[in-house]
Amino acid sequence: MAVVDLQRYGRFDYANASQVPRDGDIEIPTDATDITLYRNGAGHWSKFTIDTPSLRSWVDERRSLRPDLNQHHDDDEWLPKLGGPLWQQHMIELSQQVFSDRFPDTGWTYDPSMLELYVRRSDRGGGYTLWHVPSSGDTYISARYW
């Protein structure tokens, strides 16, 4: 099992989504490029590049697979978050901490312009959180399997 785990878990890099092994748990948009994938037994983390319209289409498609779990989303989630300076600073600090906790030991950094999106896959809590920087296309996924 240790030999299998060395091939199954760890860090993997792919030029595009067609190179990512298909196993039912890892979901990456087909238009994604420059993919870094960290995989373990309870989930995976990934970073890739994709334009906002393609990501939005993919998120809508993924949510449509379980509409009962993905009901409360609207166009506002694709807009920058607005608020007063104190609210913004508090939310940036909170989001920065959550991002760091979700991607330990990767060296990935939080960008205050990130959009944060959720896709639920299981009524037991499984799914993933996405962070997306519209200006660069940098996108991060923290997925949990339950």
- The widest CA-to-CA distance across the chain, in whole angstroms, is 53
Question: What's the confidence (pLDDT) of residue 54?
Answer: 97
- CA atoms within a 13 Å half-sphere pointing along the CA-CB vector of 110: 17
What DSSP string describes 97-126? HHHHHHSTTS-----TT-EEEEEE--TTS-
| 61 CA to centre of own chain | 15
Question: What's the confidence (pLDDT) of residue 146?
Answer: 61
Question: What's the confidence (pLDDT) of residue 117?
Answer: 93
The pLDDT tens digits for 10-58 are 899 999 999 998 877 788 999 999 999 998 877 889 999 999 999 999 9
Number of domains into which the chain is organized = 1
What DSSP string describes 47-102? EEE--HHHHHHHHHHHHHTSTTT--S--GGGGS-----HHHHHHHHHHHHHHHHHH
Rounded Cα gap, residues 55 and 57, in angstroms? 5
Rounded Cα gap, residues 40 and 30, in angstroms? 22
Question: What's the confidence (pLDDT) of residue 126?
Answer: 77
For residue 132, list its beta bridge partners: 115, 139
The two structure tokens encoding residue 4: 């299998």
Question: What's the confidence (pLDDT) of residue 7?
Answer: 61
Whats the size of the chain, residue-wise? 146
Residue 3 scores a pLDDT above 80: no
Model pTM score: 0.87
Domain extent, residue 139, equals 2-144
The pLDDT tens digits for 113-144 are 899 999 998 877 678 999 999 999 999 999 98
Residue type, 146: W
The pLDDT tens digits for 60-74 are 999 999 999 988 887
